[in-house]
Amino acid sequence: MPTKSSRGSGVDRRTFLAGSGAVLGGLVAAPFTTAFAQTLSTGSAELTVVSDGMMTLPLGLVFPDAPQDELVKLLAEYGQPTDAMRPDCNVTLVRTGDRLAIFDVGSGPNFVSGTGKLMESLEAAGVAPGDVTDLIITHAHPDHIWGLTDDFDELVFADADYHIGQTEWDFWSSPDAMAQMPEDRQSFVVGAQNRFAALDGRVSFIGGGDEVLPGIEVVDTPGHTPGHLSFMVHGAEPVLIVGDAITNATVAFAHPEWPTASDQDPELGASTRAALLDRLASERARAIGFHFPHPGAGMVERRGGAFVYAPA
């Protein structure tokens, strides 16, 4: 566990937010225009996708090592802007039996102004924080876990059971984590450790092949972070909650081999991405990507030696 927490005398919120400036410098606020939610069914579970908002990222920041001419041509082919990426932030809820699980919790109030809209979206969907029985984390990046706590550093979903991958927890909790991150992402470590401090003693650890809840399989999808997890909700029409194992519904499908700057291990991330796309296409399972166009659910279809995304 970290030795400093925003709850004590260590890293205070002012220092923490100041340290985030370098990371957030490339992010531009985007307007939050809808609380539209999509509901899917696997036959045994009901999934609802709500929005935490949207970011705007300079194109060169997302795919700095991709061939830029081909990248621009691909985006233009799909009618997308060629100057920036505008990823939505989709949060998934799964109701199965008497359990209501939420997968990731968005950015909270202190990331960028275009994000942190989860509470508004949940209210529009008729869900109160106290209704959530399980909070399941794909990975510990800011746009996925900074919403764990409020402005008073209290847990937003105070009554929930918490689940995270052991590998993910161990990496971000390590005293060596800061040294393993580039300078512009070191605030990610501070943010993760502060929020892990709030979870101390309340978290259950999970790994690939486990059943986190009845009918929900844990799938190892490392590369984006060391312990990134995805979750297959089984049923007559299965759905994979992808997290950030696939971060883009155009480029990552057409060229899963192209590295993305958001992957901590770009080579492993590309390998995981290709294998996951192949599985989804083969099994005809729907996919919900955290950063796919809202509301985020669709099918993976083969096109030649690559893939395309078909919104549900």
DSSP string, 67-88: -HHHHHHHHHHTT--SSEE--E
3-state secondary structure of 312: coil
pLDDT for 111: 86
HSE toward the beta carbon, residue 230, CA cutoff 13 A: 29
Q: Is the pTM of this model over 0.85?
A: yes
Beta strands in 160-228, from DSSP E residues, in sequence order:
161-165, 203-206, 211-213, 216-220
Q: What is the pLDDT of residue 37?
A: 79
Kindly list the structural domains of the chain, giving each domain's residue range(s) and its CATH number in brackets, ordered by start: 13-311 (3.60.15.10)
Q: Which residues pair with 301 in a beta bridge?
A: 308
User: CA 271, CA 145: separation in Å to the nearest integer?
Assistant: 25
How high is the pLDDT of residue 36? 63
**pLDDT reported for residue 3:** 27
Can you state the angle between helices 186-199 and 166-173, rounded to 10 degrees? 120
For the chain, counts of helices (H) and of strands (E): 10, 16
Q: Phi/psi zone of residue 284: left (φ > 0), alpha (ψ -120 to 50 degrees), beta?
A: left
Q: What is the mean pLDDT of each run of 10 residues along the chain (312 residues)?
A: 30 32 35 63 95 91 93 94 92 97 94 89 95 98 96 94 98 95 92 95 97 98 98 96 97 96 96 98 96 94 95 86
Which pLDDT belongs to residue 112? 77
Q: Which pLDDT score, from 0 to 100, does residue 13 have? A: 32
> Cα separation of 287 and 281, whole Å?
10
Pair of tokens at residue 47: 């999934």
Count of other CB atoms within 10 angstroms of residue 84 = 17
Q: What is the pLDDT of residue 38?
A: 84
From 275, 175, 172, 186, select the one nearest 225 (Cα to Cα).
Answer: 172
Which stretch of DSSP H or E encloses residue 18?
helix 13-19
Cβ proximity of 111 and 143 under 8 Å: yes
User: What pLDDT shows up at residue 27?
Assistant: 37
